[in-house]
């Protein structure tokens, strides 16, 4: 996906303007979005952010948005042999990454939530979605993102425990899940819990659910460098080199790499 300019008027994925031509039913925009959603939710997490952006205009697509859909198809055509590679060689358990793209949608003032969970070094759960609440700061946006990631983490831990029990596999002493976050202020606030101060009094206490999980020993939030946060792939458009690095980091491989 092309890196979007800061000027909202030059953004190719901006909402339709008054008088701009809207595509008719002869253009299979909805069908294309539906097909791509199936891929993004199963085997191709690398297109999640760009697809989430284009799906917002399903009711009023323009030629600009249709060109974006065709760009995704061109990318998929060139990477048909790419997919998630699972192996039993890695003993790494459940690991999470959470990130937020502050003001990812400058047209509505909303940020983007992105999270990813890997097992054995390969992605097993991911999400890229626009936040429903207007974040007042990057710290606020990160707290919203890590709240969603924490909920997913608890569900994944329960599912994995159920699978082990059904298969008669001993889970042993299952420790807390490491959840990586790159915002130091967010990590500090979640460690201390909800504090009604001038900078946090507008943030609902429910978003500090992660603090309780840390106290219970279910999650440990650790800081990671932004360049190494794999969830960055789900929050914004990235340069090609960074995009390829993160795609490789979430466990996606091409067939020619496995020979």
Residue 159 host element (H or E):
helix 138-166
**Overall number of domains in the chain:** 2
119-137 pLDDT tens trace: 999 999 999 999 999 998 8
Q: Are 216 and 142 members of one domain?
A: yes
Q: Which domain holds residue 193?
A: 84-256
Does some domain include residue 176? Answer: yes
- Residue 171, pLDDT score: 67
- Residue 168, pLDDT score: 85
C-beta neighbour count of 227 within 10 angstroms? 10
Among 52, 80, 108, give the residue marking a domain's end. Answer: 80
Q: Can you give the CATH number for the domain in which 197 is found?
A: 3.30.420.10
Query: Which two three-digit tokens encode residue 107?
Result: 């047209």
Q: Are 65 and 97 members of one domain?
A: no
Q: For the chain, how big is the Rg over CA atoms in Å?
A: 20
Among 80, 97, 122, give the residue marking a domain's end. Answer: 80
Q: Are 237 and 160 members of one domain?
A: yes
Q: CA 246, CA 226: separation in Å to the nearest integer? A: 11
Among 20, 53, 80, give the residue marking a domain's end. Answer: 80
Adjacent-strand bridge partners of 178? 95, 220
Picking from 84, 50, 86, 81, the residue whose alpha carbon sits closest to that of residue 68 is 50
- Residue 73, pLDDT score: 96
**Distances, alpha carbon 89 to alpha carbons 164, 219, 231, in Å:** 18, 25, 23
Q: Are 32 and 121 members of one domain?
A: no
What's the start-to-end Cα distance of the chain, in Å?
29
Query: Computed from CA positions of residues 100, 105, 106, 111, in that sequence, does the dihedral angle turn out positive or negative?
Result: negative
Beta strand extents in 161-251 (DSSP E only): 177-181, 219-223
C-beta neighbour count of 26 within 10 angstroms? 6
Hunting for tokens 């205009």 — which residue is that? Answer: 57
* Positions of the chain with pLDDT lower than 50, given as ranges: none
204-225 pLDDT tens trace: 888 888 989 999 999 999 999 9
Contact 231, 99 (CB under 8 A): yes
Adjacent-strand bridge partners of 253? 83
């Amino acid at each position: 996906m092309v890196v979007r300019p800061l000027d909202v008027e030059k953004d190719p994925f901006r909402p339709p303007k008054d008088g701009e031509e809207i595509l008719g039913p002869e253009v299979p925009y909805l069908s294309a979005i539906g097909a791509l959603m199936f891929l993004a939710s199963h085997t191709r997490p690398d297109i999640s952010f760009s697809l989430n952006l284009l799906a917002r205009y399903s009711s009023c697509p323009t030629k600009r948005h249709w060109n974006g859909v065709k760009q995704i198809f061109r990318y998929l055509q060139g990477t048909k042999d790419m997919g998630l590679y699972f192996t039993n060689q890695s003993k790494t358990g459940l690991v999470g990454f959470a990130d937020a793209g502050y003001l990812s949608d400058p047209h509505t003032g909303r940020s983007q939530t992105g999270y990813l969970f890997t097992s054995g070094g390969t992605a097993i759960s991911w999400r890229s979605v626009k936040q429903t609440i207007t974040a007042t700061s990057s710290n606020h946006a990160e707290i919203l993102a890590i709240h969603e990631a924490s909920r997913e983490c608890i569900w994944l831990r329960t599912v994995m425990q159920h699978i082990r029990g059904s298969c008669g596999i001993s889970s042993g002493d299952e420790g807390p899940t490491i959840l990586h976050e790159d915002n130091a202020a967010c990590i500090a606030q979640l460690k201390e819990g909800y504090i009604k101060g001038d900078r946090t009094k507008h943030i609902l206490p429910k978003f500090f659910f992660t603090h309780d999980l840390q106290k219970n020993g279910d999650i440990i939030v650790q800081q990671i460098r932004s360049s190494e946060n794999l969830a960055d792939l789900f929050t914004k458009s990235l340069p090609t080199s960074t995009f390829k690095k993160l795609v490789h980091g979430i466990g996606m491989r091409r067939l020619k790499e496995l020979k």
